[in-house]
Amino acid sequence: MKTWGVIWPAAGQVEIEERELPEPGLGEVLLEAERTLISPGTERAFLLNLPNTSGRYPQRPGYNFAGKVVALGPQVEGFSPGQRVVAAAPHAAHALVRAAQVCPTPEGVLTESAVFFNMGTIALQGVRRARIELGEGVAVVGQGLVGLLALKLSRLQGGAPLIAVDPVESRLAQSKQCGADLALTPQQAQELVELPPVVIEATGAPEPINNAFQLARPGGRVVLLASTRGETQVNFYRDVHRKGLTVLGAHNSARPGLESHQGVWTWMDDCKAVLRLMELGRLGVEDLITHRVRAREAARAYGLLKEWDPSLLGVVLEWK
């Protein structure tokens, strides 16, 4: 069948391509998109060929896809045509996905909310690794999309007080709306008298990692949630070793493949957990949508991303 989607033929270039898609094969599901969500930090980094990206082009970006099942390949069970689902599939009108990577969307969750599922799982696995106990202070450094989701999930986990740290006033205002008890610039955070035992670094920039180490209480935990685009020079003796910090890497790929265990769940289990929290009304994401763009105009959305306007958070591409 013929379909279309977003392609990056070279660094910094965004186009719409028409292409053929085969029928679903063994264990595959054919999906039709309704909404996809741009992952701001990761997609900007790969589009512009920043450090710690592949540098390979062409690329078909995206991993936040919400839509419906169109057809099933042989030996696929548990899905039916017309069923609403989400999947880690690219920005395209249709996608072929292994059934094991498709998650049903609960009836009570709007598609425009469900499309945040994967950004939610990324933030959730970082919060899980932090092992936040009820009443522990938590600082989230960086209030972009992942940082705000980490803030919301830390609140559900019982973090108190919740401290949002970002240099941009508009993002700090958003943090307060998302439940932050304190919203501070990095300079203001340096003046804190009582340091938090948990710090989640969610900027994706090299230097704030040092800020996160300095912000954490002696004996605290620092979770490196964002994918850092560059190298960080760290005085490990002063900032980590002598303070007795525990540093936890939290890349989304560092998960068990088959079975969840305490503090580390599989991608599918976290996906279901995020959607369940949405269904129960405990995790709202509608306030994180700042732009809605028709999918054929995706180049315009990526133009906004390249400018790195701090007011840009959730950019939803509309396919229907």
Question: In this model, does residue 176 exceed pLDDT 90?
Answer: yes
- Tell me which residue of 149, 130, 133, 134 sits closest to 41, measured CA to CA: 149
Task: Report pLDDT for 240.
Answer: 96
CB-based contacts of 315: which residues, under 8 Å, 6+ apart? Answer: 37, 38, 40, 290, 291, 293, 301, 304, 305
Q: pLDDT > 70: what percent of the chain?
A: 100
The Cα angle at residue 98 between residues 279 and 35, in degrees rounded to 5: 45
What is the distance between the alpha carbons of residues 75 and 81, in angstroms, rounded to a whole number?
Answer: 15
Contact 113, 105 (CB under 8 A): no
Task: Report pLDDT for 263.
Answer: 86
Contact 212, 141 (CB under 8 A): yes
pLDDT band at 310 (very low <50, low <70, confident <90, very high): confident
Task: Report pLDDT for 257.
Answer: 85
Task: Report pLDDT for 308.
Answer: 87
- The DSSP H or E segment spanning 90 is none
CB-based contacts of 237: which residues, under 8 Å, 6+ apart? Answer: none
pLDDT band at 253 (very low <50, low <70, confident <90, very high): confident
What is the distance between the alpha carbons of residues 254 and 152, in angstroms, rounded to a whole number?
Answer: 22
Q: Where are the beta strands (DSSP E) in the chain?
A: 2-7, 15-20, 28-38, 65-72, 84-87, 94-98, 102-104, 138-141, 162-165, 182-184, 198-201, 221-224, 246-249, 289-294, 314-318
Question: In this model, does residue 132 exceed pLDDT 90?
Answer: yes
In this structure, what token pair is assigned to residue 59?
Answer: 């690329």
Task: Report pLDDT for 120.
Answer: 98
Question: How many CA atoms within 13 Å lie on the side-chain side of 12?
Answer: 2
Q: How is residue 243 annotated by DSSP?
A: T
Task: Report pLDDT for 282.
Answer: 98
Please count the other Cβ atoms lying within 10 Å of the Cβ belonging to residue 77: 7
What is the distance between the alpha carbons of residues 270 and 118, in angstroms, rounded to a whole number?
Answer: 9
What is the distance between the alpha carbons of residues 9 and 1, in angstroms, rounded to a whole number?
Answer: 22
Tell me the average pLDDT of the chain: 96
- Whether the link from the prior residue into 58 is cis, omega within 30° of 0, is yes
Contact 227, 42 (CB under 8 A): yes
Work out the average pLDDT over 312-320.
95
User: Domains in the chain and their CATH numbers?
Assistant: 2-116+285-318 (3.90.180.10), 119-249 (3.40.50.720)
Task: Report pLDDT for 47.
Answer: 97
Work out the average pLDDT over 195-222.
96
- State the distance between the two ends of the chain, measured CA to CA, in whole angstroms: 18
Helix (H, G, I), strand (E, B) or coil at 17: strand
Question: In this model, does residue 320 exceed pLDDT 90?
Answer: no
Q: pLDDT > 90: what percent of the chain?
A: 95
Question: In this model, does residue 129 exceed pLDDT 90?
Answer: yes
Task: Report pLDDT for 149.
Answer: 98
Mind listing the pLDDT tens digit for each residue in 33-59? 999 999 999 999 999 999 999 999 999
